[in-house]
Amino acid sequence: MKKKVVSLSLTASLALSGLVAATGFAAPSSDSSAKNYTKSHGAPEFVAGKLTNPSQKAAKDIVLGYLKASKGNYNLSTNDSFAVTSQEADKLGGDVVRLQQTHQGVPVWGATQVARVDEAGVLQVFSGTISKGLGEKLVKASNKKSQRDAIAVAENDLGFKADYEVDPSAELVVYPTEDQAVFAYHVTLNFLSPEPGNYQYFVNAVTGEIINKYNALHTAGKNNPSLNGSDTVGSGVGVLGDTKTLNTLLSNGSYYLQDNTRGNGVFTYDAKNRQRTPGSLWVDADNNLNAAYDGAAVDAHYYAGLTYDYYKNTFGRNSYDNNGAALRSTVHYGRSYNNAFWNGQQMVYGDGDGTTFIPLSGGLDVVAHELTHAVTDFSSDLVYQYESGALNEAISDIFGTLAEFHDNNDPDFEIGEDIYTPKTAGDALRSMSDPTKYGDPDHYSVRYTGTSDNGGVHINSGIINKAAYLLSQGGSHYGVSVPGVGTDKMGAIFYRANTVYFTSSTNFSQARAGVVQAAKDLYGSTSPEVDAVNKAFDAVGIY
């Protein structure tokens, strides 16, 4: 997220992909090809209707057949193909198929698609970006540098020696821009020290030039094995002094924050103010966690369980991967660490410095925000830059807020208010009801167009947040009156859009199309809900 000039890391962490913008990583220069990211692949597409005739073929074959028949429309060559990355049953019937475009057998960065095939074998929706004309645009590369060379370029640019949690990696991709495409290495540098980072570099495979770079803390951490013992119920006092019931485990005479009642478990660890994850599984002598040091662990454990329950009870989703993945949290990370983040495998929470933040696990919307980044990682996988990144942040704000409403936990449309600036009453990191309160835009006409904050992922999230607020609560904005449909329907619509229709490169205009389609699926094409969605996006200037 972002608050005024505070640059923390709560973005696809609340800050590092989390709540606040991460620091210490330069955005691409103003003349970088990456500035045109959302339009760099050709005309974005969202096509709905009866796109094929009924068929008894498998859903993936129907989609691939459609693409083969549409090669002329997309200016695809014989070197272009599509790999099916997943296929899942749609709760409304039929199947949802996700794909990755490849060229000469190499993945095309940002070119992912999703299709919905109904029960009659009819392709109803094809959404996503196909990179057109690569046969003419791709610069030939007979002499490519090695993966090791690309990693060295990224490490040199990083400017400091990192203590890696995961070995650096480099994958060859086709990187398209508006005018041309090049072979590039997608380099990932993932570490926790000296500061957490999941740095993404794109290095021209021929020249060694850095085409694009950003920090999207995503993959790090280790998994500790679970303990054997007896499930028990304890209690604890959270960061704000409230008492909570906790599912724990009794093993060898001690009680551990291990909850075996949800998916493959909820586990909470203690980093003991070190920069290591996951730390030690939290242990207590009497199953009554009421010491001041316990508060961060109590809330992390309890709110992770509530977030699991929200997604399970509301959408039938079994953890962030929909396959029961264990929820792991580490508290007391670092010293006075003003941040929280999702690192690809678990949640990590700092204690704050007592002035800017108190322990960040003390806010349900913070915990649900971060875990929603994980849901996005395993569904639309929105790229953490520019409009797709701002959409990623907004989705986390939306469902962080909706988790509060689901739990009736003093719900509001402010983000992070419970753990931000404890000595200042009434403020927050962001506001969905009035993004301008904290300097964020509430209309596309006043969007941020610079390269800082990964192209405004925390800043421009305010535009989508405002649309979601209007859809839920109603109101008049920029002369457009929007009828509210309530929090439950707003959540249902955005959840379906994110998990069925958004792809890695979805921009704001494509997002509107996906949200409208989700409302049509759920409530009918001529329903008041569809009308409300259209007016909500009209109100914030997204067409």
- Tell me the mean pLDDT in the region 38-56: 75
Main-chain dihedrals φ then ψ at residue 20, nearest 5 degrees: -130, 165
CA proximity to 117, closest of 187, 67, 76, 152: 67
CA-CA distance, 269 to 282, in Å (whole number)? Answer: 5
Q: What is the number of alpha carbons within 13 Å of residue 208 lying toward its C-beta?
A: 12
CA-CA distance, 305 to 274, in Å (whole number)? Answer: 25
pLDDT of 229 strictly over 50: yes
pLDDT of 81 strictly over 60: yes
Question: What pLDDT is stored for residue 31 in this prediction?
Answer: 35
CA proximity to 80, closest of 130, 140, 141, 139: 130
Which value, in Å, is the radius of gyration of the alpha carbons in the chain? 23
User: What architecture does CATH give domain 386-539?
Assistant: Orthogonal Bundle (1.10)
- Tell me the mean pLDDT in the region 314-335: 97
Question: What pLDDT is stored for residue 39 in this prediction?
Answer: 39
The answer to which of 69-78, 219-228, 254-263 has the lowest mean pLDDT is 219-228
**CATH class name, domain 43-131:** alpha beta
Cα separation values, 450 from 1, 13, 409, 508, Å: 17, 22, 36, 16
Angle, CA of 323, 328 and 332, to the nearest 5° = 165
Please give the residue that has the higher pLDDT: either 272 or 42: 272
CA-CA distance, 8 to 275, in Å (whole number)? Answer: 16
CATH number for domain 33-37+140-215, candidates 3.10.450.40, 3.40.50.720, 3.40.630.10, 3.20.20.30: 3.10.450.40
Question: What pLDDT is stored for residue 35 in this prediction?
Answer: 32
Please give the residue that has the higher pLDDT: either 224 or 124: 124
Question: What pLDDT is stored for residue 167 in this prediction?
Answer: 92
Question: What pLDDT is stored for residue 26 in this prediction?
Answer: 27
Cis, peptide link before residue 194, omega less than 30° from 0: yes
Q: What is the helix (H) or strand (E) element at residue 93, kind and residue range? A: none
Distance of CA 336 to the CA centre of its chain: 25
**Cβ-contact 177, 40 below 8 angstroms:** yes
pLDDT of 120 strictly over 50: yes
Residue showing tokens 């599984």: 281
| pLDDT band, residue 194 (cuts 50/70/90) | confident
In this predicted model, what pLDDT tens digit does every residue of 371-413 receive, in sequence order? 999 999 999 999 999 999 999 999 999 999 999 999 998 899 9
Q: 487-496 vs 386-407: helix axis angle to the nearest 10?
A: 140
- Tell me the mean pLDDT in the region 306-313: 98
User: In this structure, are strands 243-251 and 80-89 parallel, antiparallel, or unpaired?
Assistant: unpaired
CA proximity to 348, closest of 217, 152, 229, 471: 217
Is 43-131 in the same CATH topology as 33-37+140-215? yes
Q: What percent of the chain has pLDDT over 70?
A: 90
Identify the bridge partners of residue 201 per DSSP, sorted by sequence position.
Answer: 187, 213
Identify the bridge partners of residue 47 per DSSP, sorted by sequence position.
Answer: 126
Helices (H) and strands (E) in the chain, counts: 11, 24
Question: What pLDDT is stored for residue 298 in this prediction?
Answer: 98
Question: What pLDDT is stored for residue 19 in this prediction?
Answer: 60
Question: What pLDDT is stored for residue 226 in this prediction?
Answer: 65
Q: Where are the domains of the chain?
A: 33-37+140-215, 43-131, 230-377, 386-539
CA-CA distance, 265 to 368, in Å (whole number)? Answer: 17
Residues marked as catalytic? 370, 458
Three-class DSSP category at 542: coil
What topology does CATH give the domain 230-377? Answer: Elastase; domain 1 (3.10.170)
Give the torsion sign (CA, 428, 432, 433, 437): positive
CA-CA distance, 541 to 480, in Å (whole number)? Answer: 10
Sequence-ordered alpha helix ranges (H) in 323-426: 364-377, 386-407
CA-CA distance, 391 to 384, in Å (whole number)? Answer: 9
pLDDT of 131 strictly over 60: yes
CA-CA distance, 281 to 266, in Å (whole number)? Answer: 11
In this predicted model, what pLDDT tens digit does every residue of 425-459 receive, in sequence order? 999 999 999 999 999 999 999 999 999 999 999 99
Question: What pLDDT is stored for residue 197 in this prediction?
Answer: 87
Cα separation values, 93 from 120, 222, 380, Å: 9, 37, 19
pLDDT of 132 strictly over 60: yes
85 contacts: CB under 8 Å, gap ≥ 6: 98, 99, 100, 112
Question: What pLDDT is stored for residue 20 in this prediction?
Answer: 56
CA proximity to 416, closest of 381, 424, 408: 424
In this predicted model, what pLDDT tens digit does every residue of 277-303 receive, in sequence order? 999 999 999 999 999 999 999 999 999
Question: What pLDDT is stored for residue 504 in this prediction?
Answer: 96
**194 φψ region: left (φ > 0), alpha (ψ -120 to 50), beta (else):** alpha
Share the mean pLDDT of the chain: 89
- Tell me the mean pLDDT in the region 56-81: 92
